[in-house]
Amino acid sequence: MQMTRSPLARLAGFVLAVAALAGFAALAGAAVGPSPAPPKEDHGTMSAAPHTAGHDVRGLATADDGLRLVVEDPELRRGRTEALRFRVLDRRGATVREFDETHTKRMHLILVRRDMTGFQHLHPEQWRDGSWTTTAKLDDAGSYRLFADFARGGESHTLAADLRVDGTAELQAVPDPAPVVKSDGGYDVRLDAPDVRAGEPAELRFAIERDGQPVTVEPYLGAGGHLVALRDGDLAFLHVHPHEDDTAFEATFPTPGRYRLFLQFQHEGRVHTVAFTQDVS
């Protein structure tokens, strides 16, 4: 004989079923977890310069902070003076035309081979279409790094790209540190940088002599000189702050290791270049 459930029994059964379903949903939610928020787009840090571990390290990529460096033809012929043309593009792919003036120029172009030889500092001219052009002559074969160093909207940027020069490259080892190095014009240059430690501001002070007599440098690019610091290995470009009245600079080296310092100074109307090796503990 079939038994008929009372209305009260049917109501109790319904309540139990709803509770069971709610409990299962809670367990499933706990196992799967809430949907994660989409990650924020990371364009790097570019205030005064892109930072690595909180220090001024730049020039590790062709694109950063929404800007991208495009070189028209990265293949150069050895020993030939050739045109080198490039652009800086924004997030939309449009050519950037407006740049700030830094160190008396709107664009600084640094060329150096991967073994940190063949250093050149050029100042290209901007065309009406926003592109930049200069001539360059690279005498040795190998892979070179091009650094476009500029400021825009009050923020400094350094973008980098690779160039290739045909032929077999004979790479050189980075020289050991020396207190006095001779410049390309025959000047004796001494570097005073005692106890340089990673992550701490260091003063780099240079003294210049010719034929044993101290030399008073002339203003160059709005200061007593211009200094580029590159890290051995990845050629990270360090932002160096010059003193206005002499050949002294302040830099914070981000990591222990070996760095190459390229000092340029002007005397008797000519710009001279000298390179130092700096070990950082």
Residue pLDDT, tens place only, 166-197: 999 999 999 999 999 999 999 999 999 988 99
Residue 40: predicted pLDDT: 32
What is the average per-residue pLDDT within 75-83? 96
> Which residues, other chains included, contact 253 with Cβ-Cβ below 8 Å and sequence gap of 6+?
55, 196, 197, 198, 199, 202, 229, 231, 238, 259, 278, 280
For residue 105, pLDDT beyond 50: yes
CA distances (Å), 170 to each of 51, 261, 279, in order? 33, 21, 24
Residue 158: predicted pLDDT: 97
Residue 21: predicted pLDDT: 33
**Confidence category of residue 56, pLDDT binned at 50, 70, 90:** low
pTM above 0.85, yes or no: no
Instruction: Find out whether 244 and 223 touch, Cβ atoms under 8 Å.
Output: yes
Residue 246: predicted pLDDT: 85
Q: Which DSSP category does 66 fall into?
A: T
Residue 44: predicted pLDDT: 30
Residue 262: predicted pLDDT: 98
The percentage of the chain sitting over the pLDDT mark of 90, rounded to a whole number, equals: 76
* Helix, strand, coil percent values for the chain (each to nearest 5): 10, 45, 45
Residue 29: predicted pLDDT: 36
Residue 189: predicted pLDDT: 98
The two domains 51-165 and 180-280 share their CATH topology (first three levels equal): yes
The ranges assigned to domains in the chain are: 51-165, 180-280
Lowest mean pLDDT among 17-26, 132-141, 156-165, 267-276: 17-26
What is the average per-residue pLDDT within 210-235? 95
Q: Which CATH class is domain 51-165?
A: mainly beta
User: Of 200, 157, 174, nearest to 45 (Cα)?
Assistant: 157
Residue 31: predicted pLDDT: 34
**Confidence category of residue 244, pLDDT binned at 50, 70, 90:** confident
Residue 241: predicted pLDDT: 87
1 or 61, which is more confident?
61
- Between CA 239 and CA 253 the distance in angstroms is 9
Task: Provide the pairing of β-strand 51-52 with 81-89.
Answer: unpaired
Q: Which residues of 76-114 are buried (b: 16+ CB within 10 A; e: fewer)?
A: beeeeeeebebbbbeeeeeeeeebeebeebbbbbbbbbe
Residue 243: predicted pLDDT: 85
58 or 21, which is more confident?
58
Residue 16: predicted pLDDT: 34
**Confidence category of residue 115, pLDDT binned at 50, 70, 90:** very high
Query: Cα-flanking dihedrals φ and ψ of residue 16, to 5°?
Result: -65, -40
> Which residues, other chains included, contact 108 with Cβ-Cβ below 8 Å and sequence gap of 6+?
102, 121, 122, 123, 147, 148, 149, 150
User: Of 238, 251, 256, nearest to 202 (Cα)?
Assistant: 251
Residue 237: predicted pLDDT: 96
Residue 239: predicted pLDDT: 83
The fold adopted by the segment(s) 180-280 is Immunoglobulin-like (2.60.40)
